[in-house]
Structure 1
Amino acid sequence: MQIEVYKIETVDNSLTITLEAICDTFSSLLWDIEYYKCGSFEVYIAANPQNVEIFQTGRIVGRDDDSQYFGIIESVLINTDVEKGDYLTVKGRFLMCLLERRIIYPTYNVTAAKAYSEIMREVVMQNTMLNDGRKIPGLSLGTVTGDCWQQTTTLQISYANLMEWVYTICEKIGGTANIRLVKDTGEQYRMVFELSEGADRSIMQEDNPHIIFSDAYSNLLSFSYAEDSSVQKNFAYIFGQGKGDERKRTTYCEGAEPTYLDRYELYVDADDISETEQVEGETVPIPTEKYIELLKTRGSERLVLPKTASESDIAAHNTQYVYNRDYFVGDYVTVQHQRFGMMQPQIQLIGMIEGFDQNGRSLTPTFKEA
């Protein structure tokens, strides 16, 4: 496996991305892929004039065996030591972090049901591709895969951080977003924004081969599980615009209304959701029933499920299931700890830290209950 470093050059609204260097000698690499948030990477490499010249902030880092994830260097630290030698610590996040540089402006409003894929692409385009001063050069819209993105909704959003809002929607519907490099013409590359969904490979379905991590199969090296119900919020009171008793309001919950000790209430201030919209250049009021639906959508985005997390070490060189061939981040799998009689028949792989150092390759996944 080799590290690739790409140089970025911007001239006005155009961006040129070219492969600058290939590095196959490094002390360690951490490649942290996340499904519901922006992933990150860290390279630990000998500090010499050549590497200092190559690993500069603002450049893109990739791997020759990974065509999906590319990071942008955000920090470089040089440490010198007479005994241990001189080293660079290069850190950054994957290209989705570029969206963190924008907020959603002006207000984006949908009062007629529209697919989440259309909403997501329109919001990203509006804030990164249309206005010259706000453009992220070289970024274009890519593919959409996964049924979750065909769900429809109504919503109104403004002033939120673009990257954070994207991941909020992803976690709500079960999809993910990514920006990757695609070879364009000659030796140049461009960035594409894509939406996708993980596959179900658990024992709860029969369409795909089952992926089971178990101490009985010797592919589950360690296992931990934690649950925290104190953070959950499952019933929202949402208040929109207006004064006092005239303020528009509604409630929202998933499924049957929780009661008694099962009820965890949440107040949502949605005063930023306007009661008017622009239609063919004119400002017109939003009908009350449509405005209430906008409030419910905001409330649904603020609910918090009980926090569950399961972290494990799995066999990196297991030939039964090969990471990024047989299963991927975002997929649903089955985790079993036979010795303690624990079974998680359908659990989502939401993160994977892939490590490379002098001891070889390691895989540290993070799971979340479906």
Structure 2
Amino acid sequence: MNADRRQYTPKVQNSEEPRDQIVRPQPDTRFKTTDVTSTKGNEWEDYFLKRELLMGIFEKGFERPAPVQEESIPIALAGQHIIARAKNGTGKTAAFVIPILEKCDTSQNYIQALVLVPTRELALQTSNVIKEIGKHMNVQCMVTTGGTSLRDDIYRLYKTVHILVGTPGRVLDLASKHVADLSKAQICVMDEADKLISPDFQPIIERLLVFLPADRQILLYSATFPVTVKEFVLRYLPEHHEINLMDELTLVGVTQYYAHVQEKKKVHCLNTLFSRLQINQAMIFCNSTLRVELLAKKITELGYSCFFIHAKMQQQDRNRVFHDFRNGGCRCLVSSDLCTRGIDIQTVNVVINFDFPKNAETYLHRIGRSGRFGHLGLAINFITEEDKENLFAIEQELDTEIKPIPPIIDKSLYT
């Protein structure tokens, strides 16, 4: 497995250089797909960002703005509402984090931005990006999600918090208790917005928006925007700037195959793939929590290192598994759809749908766990007789072709 998991290789600062020296990252010479390379040629300096923010951007290893960042950052800095649609793994998080940090006034001790996400794992990941890019700015970022101590969150909010990242239910709870004061939060970001504006979350979101100022700026980011989002947009973002980078880039960089197998032969087929593929790290998806645990046990019995994660696990166990997998603790992670959204582990180059998903949206988010930020990935789908019709429907909806798996898969397609 690759030992180096950084996205880029920044230049190492010489000990004689000033500590606040802005050091540009060295160019990343690895092949990248067009969804991150087809830029307008902008430089970070073109946005007149704070020096401390530029330092964090370059130390993070970002050479130049990606397309979604080029389109989004100037509009966000101008204070407009945004609806941005872009492929998974193309830099959406930094597209809203950078404007938030630029607008943040650390001399003021109140919540200035709210970032809402649908899962605890994504909240932790987003806060880490904020802290890394804003490391020279003294920005105080707090994460609050369900499944953790409410008392600890209340104590933390007595201290300075500039940016609050959390799941809607917990944030609403803190706002309703008048512990989290959102009355001066001028920016509200909804990442994975299609999920947040689904029937599960929309009532909570609408109650939460009441606590923000009337002139707040709303930024919506997602890879998919169902028709159901339109009503919400008309009500809360009547005048907005729309960014759509998905017309031809939906599945760029991810090679898709299917293997027609009987249910009882799936584990055998998986074992064969393990022996033939060059896997850095792999994510394997099942359609139920029970099947996740059973499959993880089978994979371990086959002699492969494997973790599993699903929504019914204790939060501390989920955090540990996610952290250890991100840091290379094992090669395989068996997951429910808990980890289909926003999870960014760039060493994942293979995704296997052990159970084929029920709809195109889930399929798109699952296979988007590979091929992150313009790199190549491989998606293999196990198809039973019952899945054939669904396979055809997803191909039609996404306007893509999922080909039969060949006897030998060219390693250059995903490594």
TM-score interval (norm. to shorter) = under 0.3
Q: TM-score, normalised by structure 2?
A: 0.25
Q: TM-score, normalised by structure 1?
A: 0.27
Bigger Cα Rg? 1
Structure with a larger share of its residues in strand: 1
Structure with a larger share of its residues in helix: 2
